[in-house]
Amino acid sequence: MLGWFYGGTKSTNVRVSLPAVCFVWQIAMIVLFGVFIRYNEEADTHWQEFRRENNISSDIENDFYFRYPSFQDVHVMIFVGFGFLMTFLKRYSFGAVGFNFLVAAFGIQWALLMQGWFHTLDPATGKILIGVENLINADFCVAGCLIAYGALLGKVSPVQLLVLTLFGVTLFAVEEYIILDLLHARDAGGSMVIHAFGGYYGLAISWVLYRPNLNLSKRLNGSVYHSDVFAMIGTLFLWMFWPSFNSAITDHGDGQHRAAINTYLALASSVLTAVGISSVTQKKGKLDMVHIQNATLAGGVAMGTAAEFMITPYGSLIVGFCCGMISTFGYVFVTPLLEKYLKLQDTCGVHNLHAVPGMLGGFIGAIVAASATEEVYSREGLINTFDFEGDFADRTVGTQGGFQAAACCVAIAFGIVGGGCIPIWGDPADDNCYDDEAYWEALITVTLLDRNFYCHR
């Protein structure tokens, strides 16, 4: 039955399954939102009363003004950043940017529900109250699934992507609950919960869907000049807005401020080492566009956990330095080995950009947390930064470091096990890979005299 649902073995006809999934799931979302989701007190017309009751002096202290600019930057990263980063394939740009759009638009709705049930369910009313922070978290949650898509780019159908997202968001919410609530780990920029999880989730699915004869599509698994320029749009918007990503949900005031500075520095450092390694590993010192598009971002991934801590500016540079190198080495040496020995076909190299830097970021966070001192943070700063309140008031930074490390392992385990177990069939035939013509309206005429053949000036 599921075979039929997915459109039959190796068929690319999704005329039944794709509309069915879109409509059924969207209707389900409407029903569930109707039952569960309401505005929180900062987005509700009762805000003026809430202000008076809580002695808030001005409208500007509505959380909207603290977080909305960062939210919009994150939103750009999800839709333009991830979408365009994947347009590099010569014949899969529609699939990259279009399916990314579809997956993200569905995923954010499901994420609002899943994350709401785990984190912001009001026990009195049974309602999930949402505000701008929930929108950011939903975008974050979807990021995990889009990372997984990176490993599978060109090899899966849109229906499979929607299934991947349904399960991915669900796993994400559970994993996030364990990490943030049960283990009380900090992970504001999601090195662990987003990148390590998403990366390993995608790799595990890619391993399940291994295609021994993928070389049938090999000539299409590459870029052309202008598709690489399109991909740079994605890279740059990711790179520029990563400070917003890592600071979007950190504490008001110094928390957001510091996270942005740290991420900015780590990213700058990544660029130089990615360029250096790219040049030294190629003949005649030429640069490889793949490295520039991807490894330059590794510093941002690796700062996801530690950005809000007092890692110091030079600490951030060191993180970027190492991760830019490691990520580029991954593209040069590890990706070919993964395919050869582990049967891992990783189209975008998410192993090198998300899985490994995310894992490293988790452990960096653990080390930085464990080495925090009252001298550097101040007593109050330590409590604010690590939320040593309530049940966790007596936790020491050493213990916190241990829980951070444990959290990282949880994220990886969820990614690998979850990705290995989800029911995902219906992938296109090997010779339809890396060519989005299977899913997008056919091209009709050949015009050899199109203007792009002319040049001027």
Tokens, residue 401: 């470091």
- Three-state secondary structure string covering 372-389: CCHHHHCHHHHHHHHCCC
| Residue among 292 and 424 whose Cβ is closer to its own copies | 292
Question: For residue 288, how far is the Cα from the chain centroid?
Answer: 24
Quote the DSSP letter at residue 129.
Answer: E
| Distance of closest approach, residue 416 Cβ to its own copies, in angstroms | 28
**In the bound complex, what is the minimum distance in angstroms from residue 412's beta carbon to its own copies?**
29
Cβ of residue 185: shortest distance to its own copies, in angstroms? 18
- Minimum separation from the CB atom of position 301 to its own copies (A): 16
- At CB < 8 A and 24+ separation, what contacts does 177-184 make? 177/118, 177/119, 178/407, 178/410, 179/407, 179/410, 179/411, 180/119, 181/118, 181/119, 183/403, 183/406, 183/407, 183/410, 184/387, 184/391, 184/392, 184/395, 184/400, 184/403
Q: What is the closest distance, in whole angstroms, from the C-beta atom of residue 398 to its own copies in the complex? A: 18
**CA dist., res. 452 & res. 454, Å (int):** 5
Cβ-based nearer residue to its own copies, 248 or 424: 248
CA angle in degrees (0–180, nearest 5) for 177-182-185: 85
Between 267 and 353, whose beta carbon lies closer to its own copies? Answer: 267
Give the integer Cα–Cα distance in Å for 351 and 36. Answer: 37
Residues whose CB is less than 8 angstroms from the CB of residue 231 and which lie 6 or more positions away in sequence, other chains included = 84, 85, 86, 87, 88, 223, 289, 293
* Closer to its own copies by Cβ: residue 78 or 412: 78
Q: In the bound complex, what is the minimum distance in angstroms from residue 421's beta carbon to its own copies?
A: 26
45 vs 394, which CB is nearer to its own copies?
45
What would the two tokens of residue 25 be? 């799931």
Cβ 134 to its own copies shortest distance, Å: 8
**Residue 130 phi, psi dihedral angles, 5° rounding:** -110, 150
Which residue lies nearer to its own copies by CB, 83 or 150?
83
Residue whose CB is less far from its own copies, 192 or 322: 322
- Rounded CA-CA distance 103/14 in Å is 16
